Structure 1
Amino acid sequence: MFRLLIFAVLVLALGYGFSWLADRPGDLSLVWGGELYQTKLIVAAAILIALIAAAMVVWWFIRLIWTSPQSVTRYFRARKRDRGYQALSTGLIAAGAGNALLARKMAARTRGLIRADQEPLINLLEAQAALIEGKHDEARQKFELMANDPETRELGLRGLYLEAKRLGAHEAARQYAEKAADKAPYLPWAAQATMEYRSQAGDWDEAIKLLDQQKIARVIDKDTANRQRAVLLTARANDKLEGDPSGARDDALAALKLSPDFVPAALTAAKALFREDKVRKAASILEQVWKTGANPEIGKAYVRARSGDSVGDRLKRAERLESIRPNNVEALLITAKAALDARDFAKARAKAEAAARIDAREGAFLLLADIEEAETGDQGRVRHWMAQALRAPRDPAWVADGFISDKWLPLSPITSRLDAFEWKAPFGQLEGPVEEGTAVSVDAALRSLPPVREAVSATTATKSASPTVASPAAGASVIELEQIVTRPAPAASAAKFEPAKEPEPRPFFGGAPDDPGVKDPKFEPEPKTRLKLF
């Protein structure tokens, strides 16, 4: 565009010059060799311009002849280079597609057309072909060559890191990742791997330093950087909790500033404040996190904030949590547990049933079983609630990569991924309504709950433990097990041993052997209305 503009300006200048000369006619006289040459001024200008143009054409032709050998050499060299890059491109595509034979062929052709010191991608093509063929030693040699070249150092280090990971050489992989992270902290894979290795070793300071470098290089966004920094600070606070409570408190509070709803940071901060006898501040922190998201660990720490509190005081603290988040499953369950400890069975049962109606899950039914065990001791009702718990969805827990942990961890024990643990139901939740998890099933479970049975005395329990089944010839009826268990206990005065009475003889009415005789309704056996056990 700039050249076109210059050309237009020159054409306009020439036109303006010729028009200016045409408006000012005149003659040009030249005496040369004793001869007088005279012509018009505009003709003389045209001849001058034509001579200049002719000189330029002659100079271009002479220059073209003079530089023709170099031009021809450069042409063939460029053509050879283009063929080499075409072969290199075809080889890389073949390597990506898994065609090792074509990749090897194109690599050999590329080496014949382009020198390896001029194009380092030839080593990459040969390394990829070796990996496809399973020649890992050759591939590592190519990656080492690339690692020694400043232009391909990062690519070579990544290849060596992946090979070390494949062989299980974690120490070598760590060294390659740290070297790449030191040279180029903007590499996501190197920084992430180095951070994971430093976190596994418990070197939280170096991990935080590397995270800051990533944030400055803008490798990760601000929100992700704040979240990971909160995780690292919480992990460092957990390590300091026993020996340095004040340091643990500072790190946990700094993590809460970065991520206000981070439950592990709130728990660590509260524990550190409890050790410093700052119960009120710790309770305030727990209440703030409880408002953002109800977590049973927050509720448990809040209810048991003071070790010397009575069960009544704990119940009041649980009711305060419930008032902060009413109609919440976790709040109802915490209140029900506190009421159970306080022996307030009516309130415990009401809260547990309300929680089961909102979210019918395993913990709610297990709590109902505990309430039944403590209040009535009826094993039939306890087994009823246990059966409901077996069919109900599981309670949320700390889950990372399919691993369930009883406490939060900064790294996944499966993949060593940072901030992998989530508070959710294990193994996911089924989509759509689940028959066992609806409020209708809870109501049905309450309707099908067996009535409370009376206590069974020791004498009855001994008799029911070893029942005696009489033979049919003796005329004794079969006793059902259910009736033995539910039979009320005899009074203390009637607990004495009484000998069994002889059966009253049945009269014979003197008929013939084949005559059944007259049947007396008095001695007619009772109709069978139940099934026999044997």
Structure 2
Amino acid sequence: MIRLFTFLLLVLALGWGFAWLADRPGLISITWQDHLIETSVMVAATLVVAAIGIVLLIWWVIGVIWTSPYSVRRYFRARKRDRGYQALSTGLIAAGAGNALLARKMSARTRGLLSADQEPLIHLLEAQSALIEGRYDEARAKFEAMSEDPETRELGLRGLYMEARRLGANEAARQYAEKAVEHAPYLPWAAQATLESRSQSGRWDEAIHLLDQQRAASVIERGEAERLKAVLLTAKAGERLEGDQKGARDDAMAALKLSKSLVPAAIIAAKAYLREDNVRKAASVLEGVWKIEPHPDIGRAYVRARSGDSTVDRLKRAEKLEAMRPNNVDSLLIASQAALDAREFKKARSKAEAAARMESREAIYLLLADIEEAETGDQGRVRHWMAQALRAHRDPAWVADGVVSETWLPLSPVTGRLDAFEWKVPFGQLEGPVEEGSLAREQALATLPPVAVKTEVKVEPKKPEAKTEPAPEPKKAVAEPKVVTVTPPAEQNPAQVTKPAAVPKPVQVDAAVAAKTPAPANVPSPATKTPQNAEEPVPFFGRPPDDPGVKQTEAEKSPTRLRLF
């Protein structure tokens, strides 16, 4: 574009010059060796311009001829370089696709067409080809060579970092990441790995400094940077709480300024204030976080802020929390537990049942079981609430990468990721069929069995047993046996005891056999003295009890006359 503009200016200048000479005609006379040459000014100017053009043309031709070998050599070199870059591009694509054969072929072709000193991407292609084919030692050697070159240092360090992570050498990976951060703190992978390693080793100040560098370099967004910095400050405050309460309090309050809903920071700040006997400040911090996000840990810390408070005072503080966030499950649970501790069962039950209507949670039904146990002691109702707890959702907890923790931690114990713990319901819960919906929650309250009525059982003194005298020995039977008639008791139906018993048929029993056969249990012996107030025993199914090991025959079951020999 500049050349075209210059050419146009030159043409305009020449045209303007010739026009100016045409308006001012004249003659030019030249005397040279007895020769007189006369011409006009316009012709002379034209000859001068033409001579200059011819000289320039001759100079260009001489230059082309003079530089033609170099031009030819440069042409072929450019053509070879283009072929090399084409092979390099094809090889990188093949390596990315996992085609080891084509990647190795293109790597060898690129080596023949391009120089590795001039094009560092050849090292990358060779390293990737070695990784695909499983030649890890060769690949690491290539990455180490790349890390020594300032132009490819970052690429080589990343390759060494990934290989160390693959082999499980976390310490080596941390060193590679820190080396990369020293030269390029704007690298996201290196900064993240270094941040996690410094956090795992407890170097909170260095981690915070690195996070500030990332934020200044616009590697990480502002909101995420503030959240991570708040987590680091909270972890630092947790470690300083025992030895430096003032420093822990300042760090926790700084974390709350960056993330106002960070529950662990609020709890640490409240503990620091309470150890300084500043209950008002501690309550103010907990109330501020409770209004944003109610949490059971905040509620318990707020209710038990003063160690010397009575259960009634704790109930008042719990009701104050409930007033801040009404119609909230956590608020109702805190108030119900405080009411149970204060032995106000009616209030505790009403708040727990209100929470149960809002959400089906294990802790709610367990609290109702505790209330039932303390108030009525009815084991049937207690078991009802325990059964509902088995079918309900589990309580929320601190969860990170499938690990459930009772307390908050700044790092994941599995992956080491920063700010990994979340307050949510564990997804790997072992439970029965979970009942969903308000209908199921109302049914859990509606199916509650009534309170069992306690009855007092009076134990009467035992009546004196009837004294029985031994029956006299029967006399020996004579040659001809006598026939004795024995009348069995009337058959009675237990369901119809008011009807008169039918008169049974007499049964003839041999006297000798009758003497050896014991009398039935329900037929009093003549020698037995029965008190007047003694009740006559009722036979089983209207007949005397039999030996359970002896089966009756059809003849014994029928009330006919039997003769025993």
* The two structures share one fold, judged by TM-score above 0.5: yes
| 1:338-487 equivalences in 2 (<5 Å) | 338-427=338-427, 436-455=435-454
| 1:294-313 equivalences in 2 (<5 Å) | 294-313=294-313
CA–CA distance in 2 between the matches of 1:337 and 1:30? 125
Aligned to 1:466: none
Aligned to 1:180: 180
Q: Deviations along 1:164-189, whole A, 9 cap, x unmatched?
A: 11111121111111111112111111
CA–CA distance in 1 between the matches of 2:101 and 2:90? 12
CA–CA distance in 2 between the matches of 1:65 and 1:497? 143
Q: Per the alignment, in what secondary structure is the counterpart of residue 150 of structure 1? A: coil
Aligned to 2:206: 206
1:253 aligns with 2:253: yes
| TM-score normalized by the length of structure 2 | 0.80
1:265 aligns with 2:282: no
| 1:295-334 equivalences in 2 (<5 Å) | 295-334=295-334
Q: CA deviation at 1:421?
A: 1.0
CA–CA distance in 1 between the matches of 2:116 and 2:463? 110
Counterpart contact for 2:274–2:305, Cα < 8 Å: yes
CA–CA distance in 1 between the matches of 2:299 and 2:164? 45
Q: CA deviation at 1:4?
A: 2.3
Q: Per the alignment, in what secondary structure is the counterpart of residue 410 of structure 1? A: coil
Aligned to 2:127: 127
Q: Deviations along 1:423-444, whole A, 9 cap, x unmatched?
A: 1222299xxxx97232221211
Q: Which runs of 4+ in 1 moved over 6 A?
A: 498-501, 523-526
Counterpart contact for 2:104–2:129, Cα < 8 Å: yes
Report the number of matched residues. 479
| One-letter identity of the residue aligned with 2:399 | V
| One-letter identity of the residue aligned with 1:248 | A
Q: Per the alignment, in what secondary structure is the counterpart of residue 435 of structure 2? A: helix
Counterpart contact for 2:392–2:434, Cα < 8 Å: no
Q: CA deviation at 1:74?
A: 1.2
CA–CA distance in 2 between the matches of 1:505 and 1:217? 106
Q: CA deviation at 1:447?
A: 1.2
Q: Per the alignment, in what secondary structure is the counterpart of residue 151 of structure 1? A: coil
Q: Deviations along 1:344-379, whole A, 9 cap, x unmatched?
A: 111111111111222222222221122112111222
Aligned to 1:24: 24
| One-letter identity of the residue aligned with 1:341 | D
Aligned to 1:2: 2
Counterpart contact for 1:361–1:437, Cα < 8 Å: no
CA–CA distance in 1 between the matches of 2:347 and 2:262? 32
Aligned to 2:155: 155
CA–CA distance in 1 between the matches of 2:76 and 2:327? 82
CA–CA distance in 2 between the matches of 1:444 and 1:306? 40
Q: CA deviation at 1:131?
A: 0.8
Q: CA deviation at 1:231?
A: 0.7
Change (3 A) 1:276 1:139: same
Counterpart contact for 1:435–1:441, Cα < 8 Å: no
| 1:9-158 equivalences in 2 (<5 Å) | 9-158=9-158
Change (3 A) 1:495 1:51: farther
Aligned to 1:230: 230
Change (3 A) 1:452 1:82: same
Counterpart contact for 1:397–1:426, Cα < 8 Å: yes
- Whichever of the two has the greater Rg, that structure is 2
| One-letter identity of the residue aligned with 2:120 | P
CA–CA distance in 1 between the matches of 2:46 and 2:386? 113
Aligned to 1:483: none
Deviates more, 1:210-219 or 1:69-78: 210-219
What's the C-alpha RMSD, in Å, of the aligned pairs? Answer: 2.5
| One-letter identity of the residue aligned with 1:193 | A
Instruction: List alignment gaps of at least 5 residues for structure 2.
Output: 467-488, 493-500, 508-538, 543-565
Counterpart contact for 1:231–1:419, Cα < 8 Å: yes
Q: Deviations along 1:90-142, whole A, 9 cap, x unmatched?
A: 10000000000111111111111112122111111111111111111111111
| TM-score normalized by the length of structure 1 | 0.85
CA–CA distance in 1 between the matches of 2:406 and 2:263? 14
Counterpart contact for 2:412–2:419, Cα < 8 Å: yes
CA–CA distance in 2 between the matches of 1:384 and 1:312? 29
Counterpart contact for 1:393–1:437, Cα < 8 Å: no
Aligned to 1:481: none
Change (3 A) 1:66 1:365: same
Instruction: List alignment gaps of at least 5 residues for structure 1.
Output: 456-487, 514-522, 527-534
Aligned to 2:289: 289
| One-letter identity of the residue aligned with 2:9 | V
Q: Per the alignment, in what secondary structure is the counterpart of residue 419 of structure 1? A: coil
Q: CA deviation at 1:395?
A: 2.0
Counterpart contact for 1:230–1:258, Cα < 8 Å: yes
Counterpart contact for 2:358–2:438, Cα < 8 Å: yes
CA–CA distance in 2 between the matches of 1:165 and 1:3? 56
